Amino acid sequence: MIKGLHHVTAMTGNIRKNIRFYTEILGLQFVKKTVNYDSPDIWHFYFGDATGSPGSVITFFPFQGMPRGQSGVGSTNVTGFSVGLDSLDFWKKRLKEYQVDFRGPFHRFDEHYYSLSDLDGMELELVASPNDLRQGLETPGIRAEDAIKGFSHIELTCSIADKTAFFMTNVMEHHRLKEENGRIRLYSGEALPGHFVDLVSRPSLPLHKGGIGTVHHVAFSTADTETQKTLRDRIIKAGIQVSPMQDRQYFQSIYFREPGGILFEIATEGPGFLVDETPETLGQSLKLPSWLEAERETIEARLPSLD
Ligand code: ZN
């Protein structure tokens, strides 16, 4: 019932730099421009592949003036993007050209990758993935074969990785794929990029502190609200508190913390981002859910400008 990664949601301190980094430099599609439904004076941006497929979407809440967070135990510390097997040289050149610091190439499992930080200092990786058949989006300066195809993996920093691994395999339908230098790689659905969850134990690190440049939560994908309900019941049975289902317009969501404290979401695959825009107009104008549409004028006036 868990089919892989759905999206990653993080916090940025700079609206314009954030949009430029993920669209212009990394070449992702601006999939949706909306607001935080729980606090509509805050933007919510979605970036992903051409249509925002589950497993490709990174979303941001821009909080201007919020203090920087710090990565540590109990958080999603790295978001890995998957690129073509022969694309690392292209990305090396591109990151240099845009003066983005990066490190590597490193080698792990059977993959080469670069480590980099986004403009808020959030850790990312570009992984040259074998067996990733997903289509990348051609954008100015990026050929389709070099483009980001979606997520490769996320890395969770745990105090005790085995505790999270037990929950992931027994409740969240993940399977152990391999282990290297204390890193446990799990997958759900298929053993392919976009499905990987890496667990690392770092008991000596301090607890993570939420804020700018950190991941707020990671979402896993499930088919529909029926499979979501089954999963919800199972998680509650495992002794974990789960939120009621929330309507996120493009998917339905439930939220909970895994036993190590990391915030998880389970989101439905549909209806998806084409529910209120065409592929050609995705991300171009402010979209609001029906229950906020009546307040559009007030909301628009309060939102910080994007120009
Ligand atoms: Zn989410």
Are 16 and 22 contacting, i.e. CB atoms less than 8 angstroms apart? no
Report the separation in Å between the CA atom of 8 and the middle of ligand 1, taken as the mean of its atom positions.
7
User: Of the candidates 175, 136, 164, which has an alpha carbon nearest to the alpha carbon of residue 152?
Assistant: 136
d(CA 171, CA 114): 32
The span from the CA of 57 to the CA of 47, in Å, is 6
Cα of 13 vs centre of ligand 1, distance in Å, is 18
**What pLDDT shows up at residue 111?**
96
Matching residue, tokens 């979303």: 59
CB 45, CB 33: distance < 8 Å: yes
C-alpha–C-alpha distance, residues 112 and 74, integer Å:
26
Could you say which DSSP state residue 272 is in?
-
Percent of the chain with pLDDT over 90: 97
Residue 54 Cα to ligand 1 midpoint, Å, equals: 11
pTM of the model: 0.97
Q: Domain limits of the chain?
A: 2-302
Measured in Å, residue 133 CA sits from the centre of ligand 1 at: 25
- CB atoms within 5 A of ion ligand 1 belong to 9, 219, 265
Q: How many CA atoms lie within 13 A of 221 on its CB side?
A: 27
Residue 127 pLDDT exceeds 90: yes
Cβ atoms of residues 7 and 267 within 8 Å = yes
CATH number of 2-302: 3.10.180.10
C-alpha 213 to ligand 1 mean position (Å): 16
- Tell me the per-residue pLDDT of 163-184, one tens digit each, with 9 for 90 and over: 999 999 999 999 999 999 999 9
CA of 24 to the centre of ligand 1 (A): 23
Q: What is the DSSP letter of 249?
A: S
Distance from Cα 43 to the centre of ligand 1, integer Å = 14
Distance (Å) of CA 245 to CA 231, 251, 272, 307: 12, 10, 17, 35
6 CA distance to ligand 1 middle (Å): 8
In the 8-state DSSP scheme, what is residue 149? -
Cα of 220 from ligand 1 centre, angstroms = 9
Q: What is the DSSP letter of 135?
A: P
Listed residue (157, 154, 185, 198) closest to 74, CA to CA: 157
Closest by CA to 196, choosing from 108, 121, 135, is 108
What pLDDT sits at residue 307?
A: 80
* Distant-in-sequence, close-in-space partners of 135: CB < 8 Å, separation ≥ 6: 49, 50, 144, 149
Q: Longest Cα pair distance anywhere in the chain, in angstroms?
A: 54
- What is the residue-averaged pLDDT of the chain? 97
Q: Which residue has the tokens 């896993």?
A: 220
Average pLDDT over residues 42-53: 98
Q: Which residues contact 197 (CB under 8 A, 6 or more apart)?
A: 5, 153, 154, 156, 168, 174, 185, 186, 187, 188
* Opening angle at CA 78, ends 62 and 227, nearest 5: 85
| pLDDT tens digits for range 68-108 | 999 999 999 999 999 999 999 999 999 999 999 999 999 99
pLDDT score, position 64: 85
**CA 143–ligand 1 middle distance (angstroms):** 29
| Collapsed DSSP state (helix, strand, coil) of residue 7 | strand
131 C-alpha to ligand 1 centroid (Å) = 27
Residue 65: the pLDDT is 87
How far, in Å, is the centroid of ligand 1 from the Cα of 251? 9
Determine the distance separating the centroid of ligand 1 and the alpha carbon of 268, expressed in angstroms: 11
Alpha-carbon span 147 to 84, nearest angstrom: 8
